[in-house]
Each structure stands twice: as C-alpha cells, then as structure tokens.
Amino acid sequence: MYLRSLALSLLIFIFPLFNLGAQSFFSNTMSLLRSLHWSYNGGLLHLAADNGKVGADPAPILPSLGAAAAWHFTGPFWFEATEDIYFTNYEYNYTYGYPMPCNPENRSAFVMGFVTGFQVKAVFPIPIPIGLNPITTRVYAGLVLDLRLVLQAFGLNHPDDFSGGIETNAKLQTDAIRSYFWGSGRMFYSVIGAGADYPVNENFMIGLDLRMWIPLYRIWTNENIPDIDGWRFGASIRLTPRKKS
C-alpha cells in the first residue's frame, strides 16, 4: 500500500514536468520551423563524362527538382539543407568495370538519385537604381551525399535480357551498378555555387542558381577513369516565398 501511494505521488509530481517538457520541445520545434526560409528549384543537371570510349553514350543532361531550407545564424551567413532529385538509365560497361549513363536502348538499371546537401551560404544584397527592387546575391559551399536508388530498368521482358554473364544479363549488371555506387564512399561530393534572386512581388522571389558538384570519392578510390568522370554541373530556376514582416 505504501509503495502504491509513493508511486502515485511520484507520478503526480513528474507528469506536469514531462508535460511541460513536451510542450517546450514542441514549441521550440515549431519556432525553429517558422524561422526557416524555404525555396524550391527546377533545372538541368549535366553528369559529365568522357565520351571518347568505345560503346559509350553521350553524357546526359537531365531534369532535376529540388528544395532547400535555410536558417540565418549570423551576419550574412546562413546554414542551408538541400534536397535534389534526378533519375536516368545506366548500363554497366564490363570492359572498363564501372557504370555509365546510357540511352534507353542500352539500359540495364534505373537510377534515382537523392542529392542531400548541407552547406553554408553568404547573402549580399545589391542596391540598384531607385524604383526597382534590390537584387540579392549568394555564394555557398558544402558537403553532399548522392543516395542512389538502383533498380532494374523498367520494360526489360525479353529472355535475352537476363541470359549469359554480366556482358548481357541486366540483373547482374544492376547488381554491379548498385555495388559500385554504394561502395568505397562514392556517394560523397562537395558542392560550390552562386545565385541571385529578384523580388517579383511581395510574396515571391525568383532566382537563378549555378552549381558544381566535385566527386570527393575520386581522392581515395584511385580509379583508372577519365578525370572529368563524376563531376556534375547544374543550372536551375529558384522560387523563394518571402517572409511576411
């Protein structure tokens, strides 16, 4: 009876504290979310590659979609988290021993990349003639993970697509492509970029971004592949909702 009374007393004492802690956590989380500045982008992504190899398709230029959330921490500096999505077809070039983006007729795997970045950006407003809104410029740099979902390419139904060794077997090629992209830290990149925004009205800014992704994994993998392979270049239009004063 004594223990039951003690437990009940502790519960009555602790529950309000727990409740206050939960409310405080929720309140702090909502405050943080309200302080974030969101933006959305769509553009073109070039997966650079040396096309001089026999049997290689042209290096692709792909559509991409993305979003970013930025948090201001001091002066002109912001911390920004970004997410960009792209997709394309790949084949496994068994002669050279690594995957290459390819045209649909040569596909073995469908790859969707979730490019997750964390970067610091510096923002600088530029005054322009009276009567026009000021342009805001920004530069940024950070680290990126390309987390690639590798699936067998859609529409491969002919028995020949799954016969023989890795030279012709789409399943074996898909497995090899997945193993390559998720091995030796090949998801690690760095990014540098610059952009500018112009307030089109009181609700939105529209901007242009130019970005370059540098394959960090090339530092430690020591692969015998052309120097340009793995580099990426992108241009995108950015839409940023403006905060109400």
Range in 15-19, 84-88, 124-128 the model is least confident about: 15-19
Shared-domain flag, residues 13 and 81: no
Q: Do residues 117 and 232 both lie within one domain? A: yes
Q: Mean pLDDT, to the nearest integer, of 134-155?
A: 95
DSSP state for residue 97 in the 8-state scheme: T
Domain of 50 in residue numbering reads as 37-241
High-pLDDT (> 70) share of the chain, %: 81
Domain of residue 54, CATH code? 2.40.160.20
As for how many domains the chain has, the answer is: 2
Task: Report yes or no: 60 and 47 within 8 Å, Cβ to Cβ.
Answer: yes
Question: Would you place residue 238 in the very low, low, confident or very high pLDDT band (cuts 50, 70, 90)?
Answer: very high
102 beta partners? none
pLDDT band at 165 (very low <50, low <70, confident <90, very high): confident
Of 9-18, 141-150, 210-219, 236-245, which gets the smallest average pLDDT?
Answer: 9-18
Do 130 and 191 fall within a single domain? yes
- For the chain, state the CA radius of gyration: 25
Confidence of residue 13 (pLDDT cuts 50, 70, 90): low
Verify that 162 and 59 share a domain, yes or no.
yes
Residue 86, H or E segment: strand 77-93
Query: Do residues 16 and 103 both lie within one domain?
Result: no
Judgement on whether residues 98 and 69 belong to the same structural domain of the protein: yes
**Do 2 and 99 share a domain, yes or no?**
no
**pTM for the model:** 0.83
The answer to whether the CB of 197 falls within 8 A of the CB of 238 is yes
23 and 42, same domain (yes or no): no
In this prediction, residue 206 carries a pLDDT of 96
Do 41 and 85 lie in a common domain? yes
Per-residue pLDDT, 19:
58
